Amino acid sequence: QVILRESGGGSVQTGGSLRLSCLASGHPFDAASIGWFRQIPGREHEGVASLYTGDDKTYYADSVKGRFTISYDSAKKTVDLQMTSLKPEDSGMYYCASNIGGRTLAPLRWSAFLYRGQGTQVTVSS
């Protein structure tokens, strides 16, 4: 059984940093697509960053390029999202999501991912 559990959310001021972590239990890390998504109430989930463990290729939304970094540790079964230079518009509930068994063709599309965590809240104040 695959279980994704996010941690590391919190409240920071503009310009601050946070590191989110997703613990993927029961989850093989070879040929897996794992991503971070965020949602604010009333809006659809937005793809923030994802990666494919088969070749370590990463994908980022234009709005976070140069500020966010996604990484993984297959031994620890974690996927982290390092967020720097945070802005108020980065606020939202952040979710970890994944697929097993190959590259996801739409790496920043929420509906393309089968396994999903419960989310962790990020609030950036001005």
Question: What pLDDT, in 10s, does the model give residues 100-119?
Answer: 998 999 999 999 999 999 99
pLDDT number for residue 57: 97
Q: Taking all residues of the chain, what is their mean pLDDT, rounded to a whole number?
A: 96
Pairing of β 10-13 and β 120-125: parallel
Q: How far apart are CA 58 and CA 35, in angstroms?
A: 9
pLDDT number for residue 17: 98
The token duo for 7 is 């941690």
Neighbours of 16 (CB within 10 A): 15
DSSP, collapsed to helix, strand or coil, labels residue 44 as coil
Using left for φ > 0, alpha for ψ between -120 and 50, and beta otherwise, residue 49 falls in beta
- Mark the ranges of the chain whose per-residue pLDDT is less than 70: none
Dihedral, CA of residue 8, residue 72, residue 81 and residue 93, to nearest 10: -60
The token duo for 27 is 């989850």
The token duo for 126 is 């001005």
